[in-house]
Amino acid sequence: MVHNLWTELYIVLLLLAAVVIISQCYITYLFHKYEQAKIWKVIGILFPLGLNIYIYQIIKLEKRLNNFLQIASMERMDWRTAYLLVLAQYLLLFAVFGLFASP
Instruction: Tell me the average confidence (pLDDT) per consecutive run of 10 residues in the chain, 103 residues long.
Output: 74 86 91 89 87 86 72 86 88 81 77
Distance CA 99, CA 5 (A): 10
**Whole-angstrom Cα distance, residue 63 to residue 19?**
30
What is the reported pLDDT for 5?
76
Can you tell me whether residue 73 is helix, strand or coil?
helix
If one counts every other C-beta atom within 10 angstroms of the C-beta of residue 44, the result is 23
Per-residue model confidence (pLDDT) at position 29: 92
pTM, to two decimals: 0.78
Residue 76 pLDDT: 84
Structure confidence at residue 25 (pLDDT): 92
Rounded to an integer, what distance in angstroms lies between the CA atom of residue 69 and that of residue 67? Answer: 5
Please give the pLDDT value at position 26: 92
pLDDT of residue 2: 57
What is the three-class DSSP state of 91?
helix
